[in-house]
Structure 1
Amino acid sequence: MRRARRVVLGAGGAVVLLAALDAYVVVTVLVDVAADVGIPLNRLERATPIVTGFLLGYVAAMPLLGQLSDRFGRRPLIHACLAAFALGSVLTALSAGEVMVVAGRTVQGVAGGALLPITMALIGDLWDEHERPVALGAVGAAQELGSALGPLYGGVVAGIPATVVAGVELGGWHAIFWINVPLAALAAVAVHLTVPSGTPGERRQDAATRTHGTVNAASRVSGGTEAAPQAVGTTEPAPRPTAAAAETGAVETAEVETGGAGAVVADLGGRKESVRGGAGRRVDVTGGALLALALGLLVVGLYNPDPTESLLPPWGLALIAAGLVAGGIFVWWEIRSPVRLLDLSAARKGPLLATLAVSFLAGAALLVTMVFVQLTAQTLLGEDALGASLVLARFLAALTAGALLGGVIGRALGERVVAVAGMAVGAAGYWLMSRWPLDLESAGLVVDLDLVVAGLGLGLVIAPVSSAVLRVSPAAQHGVASAAVVVARMMGMLIGIAAVSAWGFHRFQSLTAHLDTPLPFGVDAVTYQRQLAEYTAKVQAALHTEYTEMFLVTAFICLVGAAVALMVPRAGAGVRR
């Protein structure tokens, strides 16, 4: 049975990795996608929804669809999400305009965002409390691996030569999304063969019923006659669960109680829970809708399709205010609702919120880096998608090394020290990046070293944040606590890229508003080429100013993160009693 659980873990980790790869893969080919769907290079702000659409769907769907899997079963929800993921991939690959590519990416995000909490919930079903952290760590590693490999994966796959079959483009950036279809199909087969069917409640009911039958059989054997039926609501001792039952995580204690109307109540981890089935479990649809509404209003309010005149669109302030109100209502609802999207009621609130805030700010810095280092490499260094991803690889390699190092140092010095140091080092790295010269090719190793410093700093934060959240949460809530860290980071990515890019694109438009695009009419070829070269140099200078100022803003985000990290709980501060 242990081998069977490892197979389940492998299948679950694979689907999480598939979704995580696509969360970051588009940053590599954003310029190519924008060009193919009709977005000019000097209007890249119109490409922002390609990134934010996926993230919005990912974050909004993550907690709600995780709860739906409690009601309808893990396997059907994973199958549905993989099918939707494949559909979103096809829509994206076939896109010929902005609306279709954003719609396809949003569908991908909704489907991909649900796979992580469902997989974590599946681990909660099949692993006991002692072994569960290791399995959760493996799934978390798959999520982090996707963030590290996504841009490189995109750069490599986008290198497939352009190939047109029956009028459909299969190569280039389109290949990234076409390849998701067979990958999703293979994942669906693996899930169907390995993941248990039925809802968690139904599996517990079956196991409890088997245990109850074992008790009666034992009574008949020991007494020589069949035992009299127990009255409804009585409790009878039961033998320890069998190895098979323990492997499924179905029965966690040795006491089973019979209930009315054929129901069975099992004492699970100190609480009595009905195991009639999953159909009656409530889902916090209101909370999910409020979270999606709040995030959607904020993102739309920050998106300005024409940043020439102002930082925000005409509707910006009103929608941002409405988003903040919706967010406040969401918090109010989650405090008072008996059913919550992320129930961390037993965790210590102050340390928990501080730690999640650090994850939020680190996420904002992370995605700004992934998107705008790629753009810097492609627009200022003239790299193609693969070459730009290799430039970003310096940052990603340092991020991975920092994540490993942060876990080791955090165990010795405590999460707070490492989290503060990591955000401070990240701030130093982004400050150095804000001083990059206009002629980046002449900078040599300076660019590489600065990217390494920034990546190392952000990487140091990953393990301490996850460890601190688990330490202030009870063991029974470790799965939802781990998901909360990811949700906070993804929300930081979503809001961070929307806000920072809105300011950056407005800055670029203000720097180039006075420039007149040269036209090859009424002048000789030599004059036109000279005018074009002067115009291109001024656009390059404006892009350089935009990027370096955005990295400076990111440095301030990391400084705020370092200040907030001072409130991360000290070692030894555990769960609230």
Structure 2
Amino acid sequence: MDAPPRPARRGLALGVGGTVVLLAALDAYVVTTVLTTVVKDLGVPINRLERITPIITGFLLGYVAAMPLLGRLSDRFGRRPVIEACLLLFAAGSVVTALADGVPALTAGRAVQGMSGGALLPVTMALAGDLWDERRRPVVLGAVGSAQELGSALGPLYGAGIAAALGWRWIFWINVPVAVLAMVAVWFAVPGGRPAGERPRIDVAGGLLLALGLGLLVVAVYNPDPGTSALPSWGLPALAAGAAVLAAFVAWEIRSRTRLLDLTGTRRGPLLATLGVALLSGVALIATLVDVQLVAQTLLDEDAVGGALLLAWFLVALLVAAVLGGLLATRTGERVPLVIGMLVAAGGYALIATWPADLAGASYGPLPRMDADLVVTGLGLGLVIAPVSAAVLRTVPAAQFGIASAAVVVARMMGMLLGVSALSAWGFHRFHALTADLRPPLPFLMSKSAFDREFAAYTAAVQDALRTEYQELFWITAGLCLLGAAVALATPGRPSDP
């Protein structure tokens, strides 16, 4: 690699790297607030929302599958060319998404964005490992991780704002000039060449096995006709095949000399427990980002901006608690805030699951109940963000800080991917089951007053079905957070603990 850059050049390189990570993270969550707008524009019936699930899962699958593999690719060919290539692909995927006239094209564009965006985090973390010594590296890695978390919080609000002002397609058109400017900045700021030492081999087989296994699980729970069952006809065989492929991936990683994540010298129990908490928190995060928006737009008749403003209570609390969680971890160790955070989140989802029918009028004294419950939930999940990253760094050797930090994001994204797939499959099936006996009234068979009464009753029944579906999904999420609190008991405690 080139000679180590001066401190100012290192800071510039980190700033540019953090910016491209923020760009990709924004795009990961940007569609959650504009789903119903996209549905209407593409001509998908509002009662067939299951058809747009691939728009979310396509991005997440590409993000998770590409992240570890392309991170290793940068070890072999250098950070700058991989970042440049990913930004170019990100811009291309954005163009495809902006021009899409149907769900398949939109899914394809989002998948390309996910694959290219997913590589930017581990490559930037690896760049930090190149430029800073072991003593300062955790702080720098924390700064890069903060850009990822900031993107996750701002993405839904950013998407709603752009869609309201310019239309949802401009969310992706804006990415093109931004990606080009980022490529120019990367060219001047990020050192060229490749890391010093022997060129590492790339675990292509492991990367393909991971992508195939996750892809099969996603396909297994995607049901285009949820009215008859929660899983499609191919669901069980695809689940079995996905589990078998992931088992083969684990076996390969154990025996292979070249691995996506080398666990040599790690404390495997605490590491796996920490990644388990990250995965379960990812399930809870995507449930909130998607389902709170749907509650706002289907039960409260809000538009994308109104839904985003409701979600903002959760997102602001998430960011505040992320800082508090880091401070608490420095005093008590990571285990305490992880357990407390998941327990508080479980309580928050239990409160959301018991939202009443008159949701707009519900309050705790002067505080609107929706806002207060979302703040509680955001505080709980936010407490987990910093400690889960710090706990992973305590379980691996310093040489693996970069890939271990990326593994936290991979685990969270895997939770989001599998969570949105499985919860959507269950939710859509339950909605169809709850509304199977409902028939909309026909205006030409009755008087106008009778039709108005019948239609009002039909609308109320559909609303009740939606409310029941959302309640069940949030109860499931609360249970998963309780499981996360139990798993967190096995994470690292105080630095002096074994």
Using the alignment, how far apart are the partners of 2:413 and 2:488 within structure 1?
Answer: 18
SS at match of 2:31: helix
> Following TM superposition, by how much is the alpha carbon of 1:534 offset from its aligned partner in structure 2, in angstroms?
2.1
Match of 1:192 among 187, 191, 195: 187
Unaligned runs of 5+ in 1: 161-170, 205-272
**Is 2:329 the counterpart of 1:401?**
no
Query: For 1:455-474, what aligned pairs fall within 5 Å after superposition?
Result: 455-474=378-397
1:37-77 residue CA offsets vs partner (Å, 9 max, x unmatched)? 22211111111111111000000000001111122221111
Query: For 1:131-280, what aligned pairs fall within 5 Å after superposition?
Result: 131-160=136-165, 171-200=166-195, 204=196, 273-274=197-198, 278=199
> Following TM superposition, by how much is the alpha carbon of 1:344 offset from its aligned partner in structure 2, in angstroms?
2.8
Query: For 1:298-447, what aligned pairs fall within 5 Å after superposition?
Result: 298-444=217-363, 445-447=368-370
Match of 2:375 in 1: 452
Using the alignment, how far apart are the partners of 1:345 and 1:506 within structure 2?
Answer: 44
> Does structure 1 conserve the Cα–Cα contact (< 8 Å) formed by 2:333 and 2:495?
no
**Is 2:15 the counterpart of 1:10?**
yes
Aligned length: 489
1:513-564 residue CA offsets vs partner (Å, 9 max, x unmatched)? 1111233434444433333322222111111111111111100000100111
Using the alignment, how far apart are the partners of 2:458 and 2:362 within structure 1?
Answer: 23
1:171-190 residue CA offsets vs partner (Å, 9 max, x unmatched)? 31111111111111111111
SS at match of 1:159: helix
Using the alignment, how far apart are the partners of 1:82 and 1:572 within structure 2?
Answer: 39
Query: For 1:50-129, what aligned pairs fall within 5 Å after superposition?
Result: 50-129=55-134
Match of 1:264 in 2: none
Unaligned runs of 5+ in 2: 1-5
**Is 2:420 the counterpart of 1:497?**
yes
Amino acid at match of 1:145: L
**Is 2:467 the counterpart of 1:547?**
no
Q: TM-score, normalised by structure 2?
A: 0.96
Amino acid at match of 2:489: L
Q: Which moved more, 1:438-447 or 1:384-393?
A: 438-447
Larger helix proportion, structure 1 or 2? 2
Match of 1:297 in 2: 216
Q: Which moved more, 1:468-477 or 1:519-528?
A: 519-528
> Does structure 2 conserve the Cα–Cα contact (< 8 Å) formed by 1:471 and 1:573?
no
Amino acid at match of 2:490: M
Amino acid at match of 2:230: L
Using the alignment, how far apart are the partners of 2:238 and 2:486 within structure 1?
Answer: 29
Amino acid at match of 2:331: A
Using the alignment, how far apart are the partners of 1:173 and 1:312 within structure 2?
Answer: 31
Using the alignment, how far apart are the partners of 1:438 and 1:49 within structure 2?
Answer: 31
> Does structure 2 conserve the Cα–Cα contact (< 8 Å) formed by 1:472 and 1:573?
no
Using the alignment, how far apart are the partners of 2:326 and 2:316 within structure 1?
Answer: 16
Using the alignment, how far apart are the partners of 2:430 and 2:416 within structure 1?
Answer: 21
> Does structure 1 conserve the Cα–Cα contact (< 8 Å) formed by 2:122 and 2:406?
yes
SS at match of 2:360: helix
Using the alignment, how far apart are the partners of 1:3 and 1:528 within structure 2?
Answer: 72
> Does structure 1 conserve the Cα–Cα contact (< 8 Å) formed by 2:333 and 2:492?
no
1:85-110 residue CA offsets vs partner (Å, 9 max, x unmatched)? 11111111111111111111111101
Match of 1:45 in 2: 50
Amino acid at match of 1:283: I
Match of 1:536 in 2: 459
SS at match of 1:89: helix
Higher relative contact order (CA 8 A, sep 6+): 2
> Following TM superposition, by how much is the alpha carbon of 1:379 offset from its aligned partner in structure 2, in angstroms?
0.8
**Percent of aligned positions that are identical:** 64
1:228-250 residue CA offsets vs partner (Å, 9 max, x unmatched)? xxxxxxxxxxxxxxxxxxxxxxx
> Following TM superposition, by how much is the alpha carbon of 1:574 offset from its aligned partner in structure 2, in angstroms?
7.7
Using the alignment, how far apart are the partners of 2:497 and 2:408 within structure 1?
Answer: 17
> Does structure 1 conserve the Cα–Cα contact (< 8 Å) formed by 2:30 and 2:156?
yes
SS at match of 1:554: helix
> Following TM superposition, by how much is the alpha carbon of 1:125 offset from its aligned partner in structure 2, in angstroms?
1.5
Match of 1:269 in 2: none
1:255-287 residue CA offsets vs partner (Å, 9 max, x unmatched)? xxxxxxxxxxxxxxxxxx44xxx4xx3110000
> Following TM superposition, by how much is the alpha carbon of 1:573 offset from its aligned partner in structure 2, in angstroms?
5.7
Using the alignment, how far apart are the partners of 1:413 and 1:78 within structure 2?
Answer: 38
Amino acid at match of 1:9: L
Using the alignment, how far apart are the partners of 2:334 and 2:134 within structure 1?
Answer: 23
> Following TM superposition, by how much is the alpha carbon of 1:25 offset from its aligned partner in structure 2, in angstroms?
0.6
> Following TM superposition, by how much is the alpha carbon of 1:138 offset from its aligned partner in structure 2, in angstroms?
1.1
SS at match of 1:158: helix
> Does structure 2 conserve the Cα–Cα contact (< 8 Å) formed by 1:344 and 1:480?
no
> Following TM superposition, by how much is the alpha carbon of 1:193 offset from its aligned partner in structure 2, in angstroms?
1.2
Amino acid at match of 1:312: L
Using the alignment, how far apart are the partners of 1:439 and 1:43 within structure 2?
Answer: 26
Amino acid at match of 1:27: T
> Does structure 2 conserve the Cα–Cα contact (< 8 Å) formed by 1:62 and 1:114?
yes
> Following TM superposition, by how much is the alpha carbon of 1:437 offset from its aligned partner in structure 2, in angstroms?
0.8
Using the alignment, how far apart are the partners of 2:101 and 2:459 within structure 1?
Answer: 28
SS at match of 1:142: helix
Amino acid at match of 1:352: L
SS at match of 2:202: coil
Q: TM-score, normalised by structure 1?
A: 0.83
Using the alignment, how far apart are the partners of 1:529 and 1:173 within structure 2?
Answer: 34
> Does structure 2 conserve the Cα–Cα contact (< 8 Å) formed by 1:344 and 1:481?
no
1:496-518 residue CA offsets vs partner (Å, 9 max, x unmatched)? 11111111111111011111123
> Does structure 2 conserve the Cα–Cα contact (< 8 Å) formed by 1:471 and 1:574?
no
> Does structure 2 conserve the Cα–Cα contact (< 8 Å) formed by 1:472 and 1:574?
no
SS at match of 2:460: helix
Amino acid at match of 1:507: R
Amino acid at match of 1:78: I
Match of 2:435 in 1: 512
